[in-house]
Amino acid sequence: MWSSRIPKRSGVFAEIRKQSPAIDFSDPDWKIKYQTDFQWRFNIPHITDIFPDAAPIPSTFCLKMSRSFSLSLPMIKFTLQDSGVGGFCWWLSTDEEWHGYINNNDRVLLKVIHFSSPTSAGAECIDPDCTWVEQWVHRAGPREKIYFKPEEVKAAIVTCGGLCPGLNDVIRQIVITLEIYGVKKIVGIPFGYRGFSDNDLSEMPLSRKVVQNIHLSGGSLLGVSRGGPSVSDMVDRMEENGINMLFVLGGNGTHAGANAIHNECRKRRLKVAVVGVPKTIDNDILLMDKTFGFDTAVEEAQRAINSAYIEAHSAYHGIGVVKLMGRSSGFIAMHAALASGQIDICLIPEVPFHLHGPHGVLRHLKYLIETKGSAVVCVAEGAGQDFILVVLSEKLILLLFGAEFPGENYATDASGNIVLGDIGVHIQQETKKYFKEIGVHVDVKYIDPTYMIRACRANASDGILCTVLGQNAVHGAFAGYSGITVGICNTHYVYFPIPEVISHPRAVDPNSRMWHRCLTSTGQPDFI
Ligand SMILES: Nc1ncnc2c1ncn2[C@@H]1O[C@H](COP(=O)(O)OP(=O)(O)O)[C@@H](O)[C@H]1O
Ligand SMILES: O=P(O)(O)OC[C@H]1O[C@](O)(COP(=O)(O)O)[C@@H](O)[C@@H]1O
Ligand SMILES: [Mg+2]
């Protein structure tokens, strides 16, 4: 069981996040030591780490609101408080003092399966015997005591990286929740981190009125970008503009930036809360059930897959190829293939494959044409990149001049992400070439719906997820936490310390039940 008696970390110690040391399983206390280490790693930084004397105040967040009420019941006492949005907070005080707040010591179980053997499907074991080790993470939600006075808060929201369905829903909910706490100064930083440095871009004032209907369309009200200023420039700008709550919506890169901003604020001893909301259509953030926008992406991908299926099915020897997003992880492709039931071949970055040769994709396509008359391939954009030459212009020049190339120097975007080659086009071309060579007629249609999927408005399930994550981000900031991000974990909402969720991108486990289900559904063999 986790212990609530964690010794308080000093500000400096809090920055040194430990990697788990190698575990000595011959030590009879290894499990306790592992759990203690886990507790340290997943402890969430708090403002009192650097301001031990910071005094909390009662929360201004209303669990129940009313503009006017008149109720007189014996034995029950109502408490009234100005909600800050023109209404009144009220809560019921009974003998049990129900108040609906989260206790700081509430925890959620990170892993819920007790694998009895390392050979169990998808087993994640700590020791060779797969000993059950409870791993607890912090429960998200409103606290009874808060560490910011709403009238002293200036909150900013920034959306970075690529678009993702649901960004507007999260922005909207953050603004609404901040207003419920009583915050009056809320701004949006335009076009991602770039908005902190570009003098032509100014803060966008936000209020419930401004954001009321923004969730009805996709994209980001604030705009997004890749690349941007240095961390120290961003914190300079935050100081100049008096921002003391920053909500950062983005993926792995954005969260690395958010954590760096949090650390810089601590270094400068600024009382600032930096809270992330993981945004990635690729679903490649560790430890959480899913990220917002992913469900919508899978749903929207169905339209493209269905079109490819109809095209392929209606043509003589038709082959449909659909490319879906997923830079380094194939979650969208895998789930879209599973959902559609129309995919014959699903290719993802995590599972190597050959295009050519006796076990290659093309040979299997030939078999499908012979047996079914048509086929549909779904490929994640990051799959099969080793087939495609993606080089910097310098590399091309070096190659042209016959010089040795000094290493794997791939082209990158402004954020440092590798620019991928188009695997969909490559498969289309290789398929045409292959069937021409073997003298079999095929009609290949390639559909790339990637940006159409990304620009969609969130579906209902993502809308709910965005709403809860947005609210919890604000609760986390008011509770005094910083350098944290919000997530859904085994259907419960939690706070994670940022470094734990971005240590590497989450990937599909080729030994997982889900990937095997996908293989069962497509009926594809190994392509190696
Ligand atoms: N390691 C990093 N440290 C600080 N900032 C980063 C880091 N990686 C990326 N960023 C910044 O985060 C923003 C978004 O990153 P990007 O990788 O494009 O998208 P995502 O956050 O969706 O992964 C960019 O403005 C980029 O400059
Ligand atoms: O064209 P862009 O903006 O670079 O975006 C392409 C990338 O954006 C994504 O949709 C999401 O990436 P991020 O999570 O880094 O924003 C990837 O799947 C894709 O490779
Ligand atoms: Mg990224």
Alpha-helical runs (H) found in 384-457 = 393-400, 423-437, 450-454
Q: List the CATH number of the domain containing 333.
A: 3.40.50.460
Do residues 2 and 107 make contact, with C-beta atoms less than 8 angstroms apart? yes
Does residue 433 share a domain with residue 469?
no
Closest ligand 1 atom to 250 CA:
21
Does residue 391 share a domain with residue 470?
no
Which pLDDT value is given to residue 66?
A: 52
518 is a domain residue = yes
Q: Is the CB of 280 under 6 A from ligand 1?
A: yes
CA distance readout (Å), 279 to 73, 112, 212, 220, 295: 46, 24, 21, 12, 12
468 is a domain residue = yes
Pick the closest to residue 108 from 491, 506, 472 (CA basis): 491
Which pLDDT value is given to residue 283?
A: 97
Distance 164 CA to ligand 2 centre (A): 9
**397-429 residue pLDDT tens:** 444 444 444 445 678 999 999 999 999 999 999
88 is a domain residue = no
Residues in a beta bridge with 159: 249
**469-515 residue pLDDT tens:** 999 999 999 999 999 999 999 999 999 999 999 999 999 999 999 99
Q: What is the tally of structural domains in the chain?
A: 2
Distance 161 CA to ligand 2 centre (A): 7
Q: Residue 67, annotated ligand binder?
A: no
Do residues 153 and 245 make contact, with C-beta atoms less than 8 angstroms apart? yes
Does residue 255 share a domain with residue 356?
no
**87-136 residue pLDDT tens:** 445 554 444 566 789 999 999 999 999 999 999 988 889 999 999 999 99
Do residues 306 and 340 make contact, with C-beta atoms less than 8 angstroms apart? yes
Mean pLDDT of 71-91: 46
Q: Is the CB of 506 under 6 A from ligand 2?
A: no
Q: List the CATH number of the domain containing 213.
A: 3.40.50.450
Which residues are CB-neighbours of 468 under 8 A, at least 6 positions away? 488, 493
284 has catalytic annotation: no
Does residue 208 share a domain with residue 314?
no
Does residue 226 share a domain with residue 206?
yes
Does residue 286 share a domain with residue 390?
no
CA distance readout (Å), 116 to 38, 121, 514: 21, 10, 19
Percent of the residues in the chain that have a pLDDT greater than 90, as a whole number: 81
Mean pLDDT of 452-472: 97
Does residue 233 share a domain with residue 213?
yes
Q: What is the residue range of 352's domain?
A: 294-395+420-455+512-522
Among residues 49, 169, 282, 295, the one annotated as catalytic is: 282
Does residue 482 share a domain with residue 446?
no
Work out the pLDDT band at 85, boundaries 50, 70, 90: very low
Q: 3-state SS of the chain: helix, strand, coil percent to 5?
A: 35, 15, 50
195 is a domain residue = yes
245 is a domain residue = yes
77 is a domain residue = no
